[in-house]
Amino acid sequence: MTTSTTRFFAALANANHEEVRLLHTYASFILGLTSSRQLSMKKKFRYRKKNGLHDVEDEMTSLLLTIKHCYRLDVIEKMIAMGADVNATGYEYLTPTRKRLVSPLYFAVSKSCNKELLLCLISAGTDLNKFSGEMFENEEEGGSMNFLCKSSCLDYALHSRFYDPEVIDILLENGADYNIRNDSSMLPLQIAMMYNHNDAVLSLVRYGACESSETYSTYSPLGLLLDFDNLIPEDERGSPQQQERSQSSLTQCVSILLNGGYDVFHDSEMLDLCERCRAQKETDKSTSAVCGVISEWMFKPKDLKILCRLKIRQILKNQGVCNPRTICKLPVPKLVTSYLNLCDLE
């Protein structure tokens, strides 16, 4: 191991994210190594660090290691300027039976929803549609089974415990593909519906992610919304006011989806459920509320402006330009562009 590598590892090992002063001290030290070209931007390092009672090993570039262990934006920008690959992948928690494939984008979106890092990576040309995720290798009765779990940036941004709707907007605005399925064959819109992220649903629909229900032949997004809600135990639903807000969010998601052009008439699962509600065979409050919104949409005559919006958005979708930026540039009054961008559903 070279002297510069040893010094780099020492800085990573001593960086303490709870101590801002120490973090800046060791980050500045890494910045010095980078500026003097003593630290390789291409090589993958094997770095071992104690995590509780166990040693964990990472196999990553210096950029990935710095983002994970000693983050500071000016250091990251300097590394990129010195030739660090923003699309390089590495492995964390490397063991004989398990390893996680990671990238700078994965850390920016999944681990922290760090918007300044995300914008830095985008400006440096990061591939927003490159897969990252987890790989497993488990021993099974004398043989072995390999499992590959893949996720795109939208997928792990929606799953992240640091979920931030602004991150979803940034990803979509910069070209993240909302048609990429994860290893469970789920699309980002289905995941957003499942978690009742109505702001993410609105963003995805604005960018044209609301395809015909045939796209969701494996899972109905409306069905996922209700299934996930039904998994929440009664004692975890909070006060009556919190339950009311949650139910309002559910119906808001449904309204956004329908106004965005979702073809509920081809969603047999939801049609059957709505029929059960009309026959009073379904008494769950959330299900009844959602089915009420769907039934009203299907059978109540729609305003001409709603029909026109659906048609215009469909035309823009067919031309591949159904997004807020393009719509705002249309030669029509601002009030019209706001309506086309579903601002009434915010």
Q: How many CB atoms lie within 10 A of CB 196?
A: 19
Question: In this predicted structure, what is the pLDDT of residue 147?
Answer: 56
Contact between residue 101 and residue 121 where contact means Cβ atoms under 8 Å apart:
no
Contact between residue 60 and residue 81 where contact means Cβ atoms under 8 Å apart:
no
* Distance of alpha carbon 201 from alpha carbon 251, whole angstroms: 12
Question: In this predicted structure, what is the pLDDT of residue 152?
Answer: 85
Higher per-residue pLDDT: 194 or 71: 194
The answer to whether residue 187 scores a pLDDT higher than 70 is: yes
Q: Which amino acid type is present at position 185? A: S
pLDDT digits (tens, 9 = 90+) for 77-115: 999 999 999 999 998 887 777 778 889 998 998 877 789
Domain residue spans in the chain?
Answer: 186-300, 305-345
Lowest mean pLDDT segment, chosen from 47-61, 103-117, 240-254: 47-61
The answer to whether residue 8 scores a pLDDT higher than 60 is: yes
The answer to whether residue 142 scores a pLDDT higher than 70 is: no
Lowest mean pLDDT segment, chosen from 29-33, 224-228, 256-260, 327-331: 29-33
Higher per-residue pLDDT: 132 or 17: 132
Contacts of 91 (CB under 8 A, 6+ apart): 58, 59, 60, 99, 100, 101, 102
Q: How confident is the model at residue 22 (pLDDT cuts 50, 70, 90)?
A: low
For the chain, what is the radius of gyration of the CA atoms?
Answer: 24
pLDDT digits (tens, 9 = 90+) for 122-134: 999 999 998 766 5
Q: How confident is the model at residue 137 (pLDDT cuts 50, 70, 90)?
A: low
Kind plus residue range of the DSSP H or E element containing 194: helix 188-194
**Averaged pLDDT score across all residues of the chain:** 85
The answer to whether residue 136 scores a pLDDT higher than 80 is: no
